[in-house]
Amino acid sequence: MSNSDTAGKQSGGKKPALETLAIHAGSEIDPTTGAVVPPIHLSTTFQRNVDGTFPQNYVYTRADNPNRRALETCLAALEGGAACAAFSSGSAAAAALFRSLSPGDTVLVCDDLYHGVHHILVDILEPWGLNVVFADMTDLDATRAAWVDGVRLVWLETPTNPLVKVSDIAAIAEMAHAKGAKLAVDGTWTTPAVQRPLELGADFVMHATTKYLGGHSDVLGGALIAKESGTKEDGTKESGTKEDGTEEAGEMFAKVRYIQQIEGAVPSPFDCFLVLRGIRTLPYRMRAHSDNALALAQFLEAHPQVHRVHYPGLESHAGHHIAQKQMAHFGGMLSVQIRGGADAAIAVTNRVKLFSRATSLGGVESLIEHRRSIEGDISTTPADLLRISVGLEHPDDLIADLQQALG
């Protein structure tokens, strides 16, 4: 019996809470040794039966692996999805979904988004034949106005990176579905412990598992979770189109799975093990990240050297009411604009002592960076903006560090 089955029985047949799923979903007692922690399966190939079949349905580790299957099972359970495909990075997961479309199709994208996804779309996939349209998705009227014929997929970040803009997932999902499109949400900043896009109407949710899911800045990975798997319980494919001729989300995910297995941009067994280990403490970590970030945001908002704080937990934030509706917590990420422009902002990063000047987010340590320096020529980020990943240090110590750095 798997640990997830045990958790379900212990909860009286009800769906286990997120804290329970984070520990038990995808994890099974090792049948050979009785190990509670699943072993790492480094083998690249698996023995056939005498009749040529595979007794455990494992053929070759690029196609599937016990550790990857455990991680995918866990992530699908946490998000309330039907299936998950794990990748070697969040960028690989996002690119696989975009390439499940066809040349000539259109993707509608939020106007403030991770610069790596921007590069994938504009530098790689537009020359391939994908049409990319940007819209301010915090404004539903602007999103409708930006809509063009041929939109197959809507790509949304909320909160966005790095301006922390908040959009209404349910409203955009309704709009997309009414027009025959699917909605994908980048959940990297929030995780299912903060926001669950599939429950709000999204068809896909993507994670860079490098960040909060791994949680310790020591593993690279990504994942795409789908509301529909594209396969029936007997393993056969579901119909790929609806009566109106539009493609089912499950058929798109089946293409993602094919890309994953054929191209092989997959995480190693050890990477899967590390992410799964990090997930076990995710709900508790996200609460602490969120509490610390709110304390810092409130401090910074009152500081005379700060021009503006971008954090959805502040009542002054334009998307605060939407965030209250669709987020369990407000997350561990914030951005702040410093009076005096880029030079003054960079000077702050040079004076901090606890914060590390580094690019990434979601680890237990706090990070700070001048975001425009990272994004390069494509950047529309204000030159005075610093992006802060708030870690798990004591908030009083973090506030004191920023106090002395701001002067």
Catalytic positions: 62, 114, 186, 211
Beta bridge partners of 309: 336
Query: What one-character DSSP code corresponds to residue 106?
Result: E
Structure tokens at 263: 């191209």
Per DSSP bridges, beta strands 356-357 and 367-370 are: parallel
- The single residue listed with the structure tokens 């750095």 is 405
Amino acid letter, 258 = Y
CA-to-CA distance for 99 and 255, rounded, in angstroms? Answer: 8
Angle between helices 269-279 and 66-79 (to 10 degrees): 30
- The single residue listed with the structure tokens 């009152």 is 302
CB 223 within 8 A of CB 186: no
CB 283 within 8 A of CB 193: yes
* Sheet with strand 356-357: strands edge to edge: 306-310, 333-338, 385-389, 367-370, 356-357
CA-to-CA distance for 284 and 288, rounded, in angstroms? Answer: 7
Amino acid letter, 148 = V
Beta bridge partners of 103: none
Q: What's the chain's Rg over C-alpha atoms?
A: 22
CA-to-CA distance for 303 and 366, rounded, in angstroms? Answer: 20
Beta bridge partners of 135: 110
CA-to-CA distance for 95 and 93, rounded, in angstroms? Answer: 6
